[in-house]
Amino acid sequence: MKQRLQVAVAIIFNAEQQVLIARRHAHQHQGDRWEFPGGKREANETRFQALQREIEEEVGLLVHQAEPMMQIVHDYAELEVELDVWIVSEFSGEAIGKEGQALEWCALADLDNKEFPAANIEIIERLTSLYAI
């Protein structure tokens, strides 16, 4: 049976209405592609706790408030991912790639110019319809 990962995903906007994206390391699954920051949920965490921990560990931001946006299950050949996507409405700190990854604040209209994992395409489509770019 294929492994299923539960992943908390953050959609974080800055004051200019740009969204934070991170580039996956080359050696990772879906390497060198852009993604929305987040990571695996631990067994003892709520979905929101996983979001808070992962965003602090990965990009150094403290998430104070977030609302669930959508959930996506995507089946890759080697594993299945369950993305728990949140819109972060309140955060503090300065975004830095704490794991050595490149970060970029990207306009929604420019997301189509970036290469994302297939599981993220539905997120981008939802964002562009919600925020009508």
Q: Which residue, 16, 116, 99, is CA-closest to 56?
A: 99
50-60 per-position pLDDT tens digit: 999 999 999 99
| pLDDT value for 66 | 98
Structural domain count, the chain: 1
Q: Does 36 count as an annotated binding residue?
A: yes
| CATH assignment of the domain containing 54 | 3.90.79.10
Q: What's the whole-number average pLDDT of the chain?
A: 91
Q: Does 116 count as an annotated binding residue?
A: no
Q: Which residue, 32, 93, 104, 99, is CA-closest to 61?
A: 93
| pLDDT value for 42 | 94
| pLDDT value for 133 | 54
Q: Does 37 count as an annotated binding residue?
A: yes
Q: Which domain holds residue 104?
A: 4-130
Q: Does 24 count as an annotated binding residue?
A: yes
In the chain, which residues have pLDDT < 70?
Answer: 1, 25-31, 132-133
55-79 per-position pLDDT tens digit: 999 999 999 999 999 999 988 777 7
User: DSSP string spanning 8-69?
Assistant: EEEEEB-TTSEEEEEEPPTTSTTTT-EE-SEEEPPTT--HHHHHHHHHHHHH-PEEEEEEEE
> What does the alpha-carbon distance between residue 73 and residue 92 come to, in Å, rounded to a whole number?
30
